[in-house]
Amino acid sequence: MISGSKIGTLLCLLTLSCWANASAPDATDALVAGLGRPAPAHTAFAEARFMQVLDRPLVVSGQLSWLGGDTLERHVRVPHEETARIAGGKVTQQRAGGPARSFSLQRAPQLQVLVDSFVALLGGDAQRLRQAFAIARRGEASGAWTLTLTPRDLAVARAVASIRIDGVGHQARCMWMAEADGDVAVDLLGALAAKMPAEPTREALAALCGGG
């Protein structure tokens, strides 16, 4: 006869809650701390955005930069030149040869999530990450791992359902942003950005991100 405690253990092993609870905060914090880089920090990226209203994903590539504090810059080089700078609670966008336009970060919860996650990760700031997100971790910093971030702010959660970051050791390889409406943006980071397929699928990107 199986005892109630053993039944509870079996149920835990069959659910996400088991590995989430087993991820000790100090181990998760250590993993995040290991991702930290001194500012300014730059990384190549290639993004495929899967939108329900489009038959094919939109693909862009360029460089992401953390310039210190809450200042981020996203420079798209392909298919066109465009720079977005986030600083002081404001977003400034400019395409090559065109005028700059600015708007409040409060109008774009997706960008606020990008700031909170990207700055916290590049800064190795686990405390900031925990303030903005509930964190579940799978794997260890010594090998392949996944962090799943769920926004704590309900207003943000109405726009962004979750962020998943896949990595190996002290390197984040991919960032998946699942929006509440079903759209998904997948960013390949660092050296992996050069491997973005010409016509990406979610399955192909999942295989790249989990390739170790």
pTM for this model (two decimals) = 0.84
pLDDT at residue number 149: 96
Q: For residues 80 and 95, give the distance between their C-alpha atoms in angstroms, rounded to a whole number.
A: 8
Question: How many residues in total does the chain contain?
Answer: 212
Q: For residues 70 and 58, give the distance between their C-alpha atoms in angstroms, rounded to a whole number.
A: 27
Using an 8 Å Cβ cutoff, are 149 and 134 in contact?
A: yes
Establish whether the linkage from the previous residue to 40 is cis, with ω within 30° of 0.
Answer: yes
Rounded mean pLDDT for each run of 10 residues along the chain, 212 residues in total = 45 39 68 94 96 96 94 95 93 91 87 85 92 94 94 90 95 95 96 96 95 59
- The amino acid at 52: Q
pLDDT at residue number 25: 52
pLDDT at residue number 109: 79
What's the chain's Rg over C-alpha atoms?
A: 18
Superfamily of domain 24-60+108-209: Lipoprotein localisation LolA/LolB/LppX (2.50.20.10)
Q: How far is CA 22 from CA 136, 138, 190, in A?
A: 9, 9, 30
Q: For residues 178 and 163, give the distance between their C-alpha atoms in angstroms, rounded to a whole number.
A: 6
